[in-house]
Structure 1
Amino acid sequence: MFTIPPRNAGENNKDYSYRVIRDAIMFLELKPGQVISEIDLAQKLEISRTPIREVLGKLREENLVEVIPQVGTYVSKIDIQLIEEAAFMRFVMEKEIVKLACESFPKESLQELKNNLAIQKLMVSQDGRERDFHRLDTQFHRIIFKGVRKENIWFSITRLSTHYNRIRVLSELENSFAQAVEEHREMVDCLEQGNVEHVDNIVRRHIIEPMRLWNRLITPDSPFSEYFNNRGELYKTLSTIGNFYDLS
């Protein structure tokens, strides 16, 4: 059904089940549109149904689970409106955060970024490391926000980005993440050199350009087409993304 990792030290049943179930949804082991049940999840995790019920309620608030009365509970399909809003928020906020970091960024944070990037580079030639890369990618951007004391903004972005991140994961499974690693390297160079003038271009290429690849995921002959709600609207948005974000 999905991977069951070991518990973290001191992790209670609710925290553990939330982490495991959420990761299974985010990394598409529990697929968009898939039926899930409290009983099955409780048996799989070997815990009672009470924390599972609470976790499903929390995931519903994050738009990752949908409950249809008298029908059942489902993993939410990936939604176009939530993708577009998250992409817009990341693009607008992150380019300003990176500019701040170009003006002033702690040396220890810069070194942390370089260490993170070095591990990313090692993963490019390794198969089956998409999940590990996605975690490193998330950590990389969080380091930048934290370095300019805007970490809570990053948390707000991640809360809105659940559907955006699921399509990113799907794209990373289908495409190499080597380009993303190269763009991370360019970001590190910008921060180290204080090169504010190049920030808009780098952030645009890093956040917006990859969305062009997503069209192939939603075509009728794609094996993933049923993962999405409003496929026609998603196709229209992705086809005209350059107009929305002034891409040349």
Structure 2
Amino acid sequence: MMMNISPRLPGENNKDYSYRVIKANIMSLNLRPGQVISEIDLAAALEISRTPVREVLAMLKEEHLVEVYPQVGTYVSKINLQLIEEAAFMRFTLEKEVLKLACASFPVEELLELKKNAALQKLLLGQQGQAPEFHKLDTEFHHIIFRGNKKENVWTSITRLSTHYNRIRLLSEMERSYDDTIRQHLRIVEIIENKEMENAERMYQEHILWPMKNWEALYHRDSPYASYF
């Protein structure tokens, strides 16, 4: 089992460290949906004891990212279409309203951060193999909008429900161009800056709901990724 092992953060204990690294490998699809994993292998890869790894796997099970079958084994959860639909519904319902709030009032310093983020995304236009980097910028882009509206706890709730949604989104970004998504982000910045509240709902239909139609090819039975679902 190959994992990307990032350096330990200052003051990070074994449990926090293993949780961060294992979850990051699941969310990045480095640990594939349906892949068998074991406490022994994970502990060896992280060079820690099995106890914190066992605790982390229990936490990830609660987050629907790990499945444990007694007497059989532990697996990375396959991507669940119902959880994707629920996350998309939550994101669309809440994000269009938060965008409207941002049109009414948005701190200058947060708008500057949003523009910086969008500028970094723009540098990725036309580039291949940058899906993981784009995905990080994408997540932070939306986080900034919630933060600027003092809705960080709402964003945390969205993030917790969006683990399966974010995995299929990353898979789509790896297979398809993410140029359209970057252009949509640039447009969202314009909507906030120009206070175009009337365009918020349409923008998030295009940004969140419409791309889901393209995802059907990923879980079709003839797809090379059919086993991920």
1:2-41 mapped onto 2 (5 Å cutoff)? 2-41=3-42
Structure 2: segments with no counterpart, 5+ residues = none
- Once the 2 structures are TM-superposed, how far is the Cα of residue 137 of structure 1 from its aligned partner? 0.5
Query: Amino acid of the residue matched to residue 134 of structure 1?
Result: H
- Once the 2 structures are TM-superposed, how far is the Cα of residue 116 of structure 1 from its aligned partner? 0.4
* Alignment partners' CA distance in 1, 2:176 and 2:9: 31
Partner of 1:189: 190
The alignment's TM-score, normalised by the length of structure 1, stands at 0.90
- SS for the counterpart of 2:11 is coil
Tell me whether 1:211 sits opposite 2:212 in the alignment. yes
Structure 1: segments with no counterpart, 5+ residues = 229-248
Partner of 1:179: 180
1:1-80 mapped onto 2 (5 Å cutoff)? 1-80=2-81
- Native 8 Å contact 2:3 2:45 kept in 1: no
* Alignment partners' CA distance in 1, 2:164 and 2:210: 17
- Once the 2 structures are TM-superposed, how far is the Cα of residue 126 of structure 1 from its aligned partner? 3.0
Query: Amino acid of the residue matched to residue 81 of structure 1?
Result: Q
* Alignment partners' CA distance in 2, 1:179 and 1:126: 13
Root-mean-square deviation (CA, aligned residues, Å) is 0.8
- SS for the counterpart of 2:211 is helix
* Alignment partners' CA distance in 1, 2:156 and 2:62: 15
* Alignment partners' CA distance in 2, 1:65 and 1:74: 6
Tell me whether 1:104 sits opposite 2:124 in the alignment. no
- Once the 2 structures are TM-superposed, how far is the Cα of residue 139 of structure 1 from its aligned partner? 0.4
* Alignment partners' CA distance in 1, 2:190 and 2:91: 20
- Native 8 Å contact 2:34 2:75 kept in 1: yes
- Once the 2 structures are TM-superposed, how far is the Cα of residue 55 of structure 1 from its aligned partner? 0.6
* Alignment partners' CA distance in 2, 1:10 and 1:177: 36
Between the aligned residues of both structures, percent identity stands at 61
Query: Amino acid of the residue matched to residue 21 of structure 1?
Result: I
Query: Amino acid of the residue matched to residue 226 of structure 2?
Result: S
- How many pairs were matched up? 228
The alignment's TM-score, normalised by the length of structure 2, stands at 0.98
- Once the 2 structures are TM-superposed, how far is the Cα of residue 5 of structure 1 from its aligned partner? 1.3
- Once the 2 structures are TM-superposed, how far is the Cα of residue 128 of structure 1 from its aligned partner? 2.0
